[in-house]
Structure 1
């Protein structure tokens, strides 16, 4: 009866007035021009915003105006969807009837005419959106009406199932975020469904499974998916019964249905329920699956099905372990029965974990790790459980081996997937080590000894996994970092043996890139071994520097070796003293500067060379050589830079080809970066001056500062200069100071927002280190720097240029940080000796930052500056005129800033700024005494509509303890802004 009603003519009160804009719709065609696409997009927005746009689209679909044009039909459905997600919730009864008629017509069309899958999905989504608004209030018979469409045939059944899946997405899916209102709505919908129609839904599913098993497997698979979705919140008895289970189990023997049936069983078992009932449910499915033979698949079984089965076995194991954990606290006998069920699944876990297909193996990883966690709670372990641990370890080790098809030279998606899978195996391996440390240690020791002692006769995968397992022991065994060779004698002896065999077996001559990388990684991880057995150091050093390392044919090996060599040298500075000269002879060709002139033919990239120059610096500085030789060695290391730098600058400036000019700029920047990294070896104990290397770096600095005046690629060059100067501030004393004016002078000639911002931290670093020594120079350049900063800040820029706006904001923050550094480092004379008018304007910028700059950390900085200035100049013997500035500007700022609309007192950073304001006022009282309190009580607070009692309360709080006043201050403004 209802189906017949739905088939009536679909009409509107204004039929004939609706006409689709066919010209605009041309933009939906796949070959449409950009202009046509833009026009279609504009038309789409117009229809969405129009009150009757959805009706126009509904009429076009139901009347078949664009039958055969899928793009236009999808376009119309999107407009309808927009209406349903928005205005439909407040729709009139008349519009509700129109929507119901639309749904009826859509279901009739979908039940009689085949459509593309994406259109079916969109139609089902539209229907589900109507459902969540109308059910159960406006459309209580929704499911009854939906079920009536079955008579139309398999197409209608398919749409019915798609609608159910879409309803699950809208109402149940936990991966989709919902508002509190939507959550309440969804709860009401599910409650109504449980009461009114879930039984009928379940009956319809069983009918579909039986009716279409042979004729339409796609519909059956979709129905199984629906059951899997809905089982999470409906009564388990509706599905786990004598009617459904035999049907689903029967499907497990049907190649077209078994994967979907497997997923359905997985979802049924995953349902939350009482642990005893869960154990019975899992075991019942396990028994019937065992009886039909699907738990013992053949070796040549389809991998996709095996992956589904592995996922199912994983679910069984995880669910049983979860039940066991709950039952151990409440029912020991039931826990014992559940543990027996778990142990019976372990052979299945081994079978699937050991499958040659990684997807099949990886699907059971969670069961594996949970089982290990279970065994950690068992004391003592049974003989069978110990046997399980041994079996599991062997399976994991075998699965860690690379497949023969692995492409080491061009790693693609398959290789990336294997590496992710290997991470899962590593987690299992580490868990096994924490469960039975001795077993893992003995097993790995046996494997490494057997493999490395005869590596010439072993396959690559076996050699690689042996070295990898030795490396993994470093984090798998519960040993503090670097203490593998102390503590437990048995453990130390085993790792000693394996490391000794690694470096004496000559396996490093195997040559394959993966073996070499793992060899060097392992050598560095266990560098403490070489403190115990120093006789092996020469062989390992040679491996780093010959064709096995720096000169290997593979670039990945050379690159990784550069980094690992730096770590190796850092860890063994004392032990490599006798080999320093030999090392420099071997790496001399690698310290040559990469330039466009030599075609970048070097073995190491610029980034790799950074590690090598840092290593060279460490070798020199930590050596036992006298300062003269250290200086000579450092000069030799940096000679390629000194020899080529000036010439490179000239070539860059003269070059007319833009690409070559940029290449020269990068080379110049790299030269300065290399020199900077070489200086990282110096420390407070081993200073540059103490090591006799000072003049080498001073000469380089003299060259580098010339680069600030180059007319091209300024930013790139300046980055290198600043980086080098930052390092020299750390390493040198007053020798650096003459070079700062050169850089600053050039910077002020052609000010750039980013360059100014980037330079200020360097200036702050110099102030912090040299303090009064830099004061005379700073007094001279202070106002030019400030003037330049504000000239750049006030330059007009496009309001839509977010990059420019961000850079200006950063520069302003940098300016306040610059002033704070001056104030905090006892160089106030820099400010005090400025022209009074200039100083006044600078102080006003601080007040402006404290009150108007919408950045709480910067506001805090500004009030900190003001507080320190009050402490220095606010007393009776302070700076002339400054007390007047306090009363006119600083005190008002402490009241103006918190009252700004964007000053959010709930924000943590803003609270810190507010605390700094309170401290500033307290400091004013400390310096000016009752004079300030009288000013506030008699003059300032009354003019701001504060009653006499309120003003008295504020003044009393101001005279109290600092902590009490800060709390009062926050409460005061919270009330004032409420």
Structure 2
């Protein structure tokens, strides 16, 4: 017993706060005991059941609870039967405990958590022993339920309450373990346990399901009788027993025979309990009925019969009517009764879903007809539930409504036409309920909203929007008319002075706001708001849409703008108005007279000058968005006035947080910057830039107006900088104001359009000098305050925006910017800076060369040193990875641009080798597959750019490819190739790892690129020099080299063969059609052949190889995959040559032969690879491959092998009648014949392009 005493002592120490120093030691010991449950379970069993002579438990509740945990671990991991001695020991101990504690004792009254824990422990023991060792488990348990036999037959038998509750808990636990998918999904999957649980479930069904069900229903009925006799009050009220019994019944109805749970006895009992005065009983019964309704049955007829027997539609209808009447009589809300109405909604939802499923999937007309009748009967109740004032109740019915509308849409798709009257009547009622439900509650206070209420109502509106969208698809006119009528009536009532509640007004404006989202299938752009004829895309900008009649949406927007609803006393209405008008800027391009009234509303106290901060902040964004979208429509003569009306809102105001709430000045600075309303104010500064840019035709006025906005900010910037220099880092206010001023100046520049590249004719330059002064001022501030991260970020952001506007005019300031940014920086900022430079490369290209030439060397050295620093923690590892990834992206951006020569410039030649070596190290590092792939992609671009062979004497010098670096081919062979082969040869490389598989794919692409770029030279080097030096046998080296080079040669040859043969055939047929026709070449065919052949021959096998690697299939290399597809295409080369023959049947035959041979070759070689997969479904990929191959053959036939001889038109034997001139009588038909041929050839080429695109 010493070990038992040790465990008890350890538990006492772990539970005693006074012995904290020994806590960890005690916990470690207890953890060892629990982890070794296979050997310590006997101690745990003794610890749990031991009792004193007077029947009390020997050990503390804490110790006994720990004992149950050990027993749980032992039972849970036990998937094999116990030995006889262990089983008997456990069984007898647990039965003795139940008798002493639950029959003669208090059933753990002082520690109810132990009672619950014991139920689960006993359930786990049951799962381990029921099948072969304790088949009488339930019979033994039933024998304990009767507390005492009656003295005479006339007395009602009495039952032990404690055993009843234990029995119910055990059945609940068993159902959870063997049938609850949620619980199963929450634990780690174990195949052996899954099989064991399924066997237990089947055994219970066969042996004891009927007995369990009978016992549960008998005990429930007994509880109901006791309620009738003794009432519902008291410490041991039978209400709890009935509630738990129904929940137990509900737990197993889904996995035992429906004939046991749905009987002439159970159905009336459940309906009685569904209307019981006790709320828990009603809720439990509703859940049980929902599970019965949702139980799967094989035959649709059986399911329909079940639903007819239950007749839940009538029951729920009566209960909903009753509860709704009771709710109307109550003066205060009753949350319990509302919960019951939610339960009724869930029950009705379950019934509706099953009926819709029957209609959709049964395939039996009789079943569909009866199910449709039942469904139509419950629809009025569904609408009443949906219209409930409590959103939680309404939400319960949405899944059924979505399923029903989806069913309607499927029917409509199969049989287009108007809906039948029943469905249309339902849609009318549903639409009415939806629009009513979309309205805010009158009791909601929009001026002091509760954030949780707002979030919940917005979620409800999203659900309602989905319903509206579905109804609109079914009957567009119905929805459009309903919304249009509601909006028009509301606006007319408001304009005429009739009192309109704020929620009615808000709903009308909201419906205008969402109308475009509902009407997804309608036209887009300006024609969404006016009924205009179709116009070619190029001419749309020239059309005057103002004279066309408006669509319903256009009429609603026009009514909004012309009304005074934006002046509604409730700000929420005005805000919704601004949301609506800013969402549909194209309307204002149709009715330009609405622009000024809308701008006036946005500018005055209804909008950006509102007294409410939150309202004002949101309108700042909406105003910016509106101006940005319609700025080209704003009259230039009002631009200055609009800008002047905003000046009072452009003052930078800073409110510092209480310094006592922060740990340091840095915290105060961050809080002051992020906690202010300045973020929304930035939209106003950008709007200023947008408005000023409209004055571009008058540069002097533009400069003057822009200066009037910039000068105050520059002055404040200078003043705050001086204050900082005087007061130092403790002057938080000055630092924040400098930050805000820099951001404001940057956003003004952002409002201007981007600098064009290339510059179009007649381009009027912006005031670059002014922006240059701004940039220099920012640099001065940055140099003085570079120690503050927020200042560095603001400067980089502002520079990005100024550079986008001015182009190369201020690129000379970038080195100074880089110096200041990198003097003091946090590692994460380096990523942002690299992204910043990458963006400039994309925008400026050659204009950035001189700057990048000066920048790339020091920047690369800086980053290389940073990446070489030791990584000490998770955060450092993440920053290191992000920096490396951004650096590689930066280098790839340079190689993809027109300024890649910056790496080999005179300034950077000395660091070129170090750069390439660092990239080779990353390309060989298998610990970071993401960056490794990016580095390999870099070398693909490097080889393509610098590895080009020098042009031979007399060769065509007009090629787009420029000569590479002299001697770079030696670098490819001596440095890049070894790394390429080193990676897959590494012991750490695992081809079944998806990330490594992707790396191998990049390696294959790089090898292909080397061979493609260097041609025969690379092939011979691999075959004769490199592979033999790596110890490859000659046969293997030859096979690899051929597979690497051959497929590309085959595909390239096929491309030119297709082009030449189709062009030749077109010329032959043109000649045979008309000897005088000119020979022509359709170079469009070449642009079609290249992507078609390369995509099929290179991309498709690569993708298949990656997919198979991911699935762990075979030891197939990517080179073998590409080679297989390349060689399968060889047969198309002679076929394309023979297809010149002007015989359609011969060409079809040739295509069939090529399809058969190449397809057989692919299937014969690919299917054995697929057959090695463990999952047989993988073999079905061969069907996809065959379908794609067939598609390729059809594409070849249509695009390259389709041409016909068109004979010249002969004389018409029918004389021309008066007014009909068929042909040209007496004229030469050569011209018309040639024109016909030319037209036909052009049409065929156009057809090919159309089919390909």
Same fold by TM (over 0.5)?
yes
Q: Which stretch shifts more, 581-590 or 139-148?
A: 139-148
Q: Which runs of 5+ in 2 are unaligned?
A: 148-159, 228-236, 328-336, 534-547, 659-671, 951-963, 1049-1093, 1106-1114, 1122-1171, 1173-1253
Query: How far apart, CA to CA, are the structure 2 residues paired with 1:700 and 1:149?
Result: 90
2:48 aligns with 61
| Deviation at residue 374 of structure 1 after TM alignment | 4.5
**Aligned with 1:454: secondary structure?**
helix
1:568 to 626, 631, 634: 626
Cα deviation 1:220-269 (Å, max 9, x = unaligned): 22222222222222111101111211221221232112222222112111
The residue correspondences of 1:414-813 to structure 2 (distance < 5 A) are 414-455=453-494, 457-477=499-519, 478-482=521-525, 483-487=527-531, 492-577=550-635, 578-595=637-654, 605-623=677-695, 625-652=697-724, 654-657=727-730, 660=733, 663-664=736-737, 666-667=739-740, 670-671=743-744, 673-675=746-748, 677-679=750-752, 690-710=764-784, 713-747=787-821, 749-750=823-824, 752-771=826-845, 774-776=848-850, 778-798=852-872, 801-813=873-885
**Aligned with 1:294: secondary structure?**
helix
| Deviation at residue 107 of structure 1 after TM alignment | 4.1
**Aligned with 1:618: secondary structure?**
helix
The residue correspondences of 1:93-104 to structure 2 (distance < 5 A) are 94-101=85-92, 103-104=94-95
Query: How far apart, CA to CA, are the structure 2 residues paired with 1:187 and 1:33?
Result: 47
Say yes or no: does 1:390 pair with 2:385.
no
Say yes or no: does 1:321 pair with 2:356.
yes
Query: How far apart, CA to CA, are the structure 1 residues paired with 2:456 and 2:847?
Result: 60
Query: How far apart, CA to CA, are the structure 1 residues paired with 2:404 and 2:908?
Result: 78
Cα deviation 1:664-693 (Å, max 9, x = unaligned): 575366446534533466666999983523
1:166 aligns with 173
| Deviation at residue 908 of structure 1 after TM alignment | 6.1
| Deviation at residue 63 of structure 1 after TM alignment | 2.2
Q: Which stretch shifts more, 461-470 or 107-116?
A: 107-116
Say yes or no: does 1:335 pair with 2:361.
no
1:355 aligns with 388
**Aligned with 1:61: secondary structure?**
helix
Cα deviation 1:437-490 (Å, max 9, x = unaligned): 323333333332332333351222222222223333222234234443234999
Q: 1:927 to 1:71 in 2, by over 3 A?
A: same
Q: Which stretch shifts more, 803-812 or 832-841?
A: 832-841
1:267 aligns with 291
Query: How far apart, CA to CA, are the structure 2 residues paired with 1:521 and 1:67?
Result: 71
| Deviation at residue 201 of structure 1 after TM alignment | 1.3
Answer yes or no: is the 8 Å Cα contact 1:705–1:721 preserved in 2: yes
Answer yes or no: is the 8 Å Cα contact 2:483–2:511 preserved in 1: yes
| Deviation at residue 894 of structure 1 after TM alignment | 1.0
Query: How far apart, CA to CA, are the structure 2 residues paired with 1:468 and 1:436?
Result: 21
Query: How far apart, CA to CA, are the structure 1 residues paired with 2:728 and 2:45?
Result: 66
| Deviation at residue 125 of structure 1 after TM alignment | 2.3
1:124 aligns with 119
1:300 aligns with 326
| Deviation at residue 603 of structure 1 after TM alignment | 14
Query: How far apart, CA to CA, are the structure 2 residues paired with 1:726 and 1:90?
Result: 72
Q: Which stretch shifts more, 121-130 or 775-784?
A: 775-784
Q: 1:708 to 1:21 in 2, by over 3 A?
A: farther
The residue correspondences of 1:818-897 to structure 2 (distance < 5 A) are 818-825=890-897, 826-828=899-901, 830-831=903-904, 833=906, 838-852=911-925, 854-871=927-944, 874=947, 882-897=968-983
**Aligned with 1:479: secondary structure?**
coil
The normalised TM-score by structure 1 is: 0.88
Say yes or no: does 1:254 pair with 2:298.
no
| Deviation at residue 922 of structure 1 after TM alignment | 4.3
1:4 aligns with none
**Aligned with 2:622: secondary structure?**
helix
Q: Which stretch shifts more, 15-24 or 690-699?
A: 15-24
Query: How far apart, CA to CA, are the structure 1 residues paired with 2:479 and 2:885?
Result: 56
Answer yes or no: is the 8 Å Cα contact 1:396–1:429 preserved in 2: yes
Q: 1:920 to 1:210 in 2, by over 3 A?
A: closer
Say yes or no: does 1:955 pair with 2:1034.
no
Query: How far apart, CA to CA, are the structure 2 residues paired with 1:412 and 1:149?
Result: 55
Q: 1:715 to 1:161 in 2, by over 3 A?
A: same
Query: How far apart, CA to CA, are the structure 1 residues paired with 2:44 and 2:458?
Result: 50
Answer yes or no: is the 8 Å Cα contact 1:679–1:727 preserved in 2: no
Say yes or no: does 1:81 pair with 2:72.
yes
2:302 to 263, 272, 277: 277
Q: 1:429 to 1:926 in 2, by over 3 A?
A: closer
| Deviation at residue 897 of structure 1 after TM alignment | 1.2
Q: Which stretch shifts more, 239-248 or 141-150?
A: 141-150
Say yes or no: does 1:185 pair with 2:196.
yes
Say yes or no: does 1:194 pair with 2:201.
no
| Deviation at residue 587 of structure 1 after TM alignment | 1.2
Query: How far apart, CA to CA, are the structure 2 residues paired with 1:543 and 1:70?
Result: 71
**Aligned with 2:32: secondary structure?**
helix
User: How much is the aligned-residue C-alpha RMSD, in angstroms?
Assistant: 3.9
Q: 1:531 to 1:139 in 2, by over 3 A?
A: same
Query: How far apart, CA to CA, are the structure 2 residues paired with 1:628 and 1:613?
Result: 21
Answer yes or no: is the 8 Å Cα contact 1:534–1:575 preserved in 2: yes
Q: Which stretch shifts more, 522-531 or 772-781?
A: 772-781
1:209 aligns with 220
Query: How far apart, CA to CA, are the structure 1 residues paired with 2:244 and 2:78?
Result: 32
Query: How far apart, CA to CA, are the structure 2 residues paired with 1:681 and 1:197?
Result: 78
Q: 1:345 to 1:821 in 2, by over 3 A?
A: closer
Answer yes or no: is the 8 Å Cα contact 1:709–1:746 preserved in 2: yes
Answer yes or no: is the 8 Å Cα contact 1:508–1:543 preserved in 2: yes
Q: Which stretch shifts more, 234-243 or 430-439?
A: 430-439
Q: 1:956 to 1:158 in 2, by over 3 A?
A: same
| Deviation at residue 340 of structure 1 after TM alignment | 1.4
Query: How far apart, CA to CA, are the structure 2 residues paired with 1:510 and 1:656?
Result: 48
Q: 1:335 to 1:756 in 2, by over 3 A?
A: closer
Query: How far apart, CA to CA, are the structure 1 residues paired with 2:477 and 2:773?
Result: 59
Cα deviation 1:58-103 (Å, max 9, x = unaligned): 3332226978965554444334333333467697655444544554
Answer yes or no: is the 8 Å Cα contact 1:614–1:681 preserved in 2: no
2:234 aligns with none
Q: Which has the larger radius of gyration?
A: 2
Q: Which stretch shifts more, 787-796 or 280-289?
A: 280-289
Q: 1:212 to 1:440 in 2, by over 3 A?
A: same
Q: Which runs of 5+ in 1 are unaligned?
A: 1-13
Q: 1:283 to 1:651 in 2, by over 3 A?
A: farther
| Deviation at residue 724 of structure 1 after TM alignment | 2.5
1:45 aligns with 31
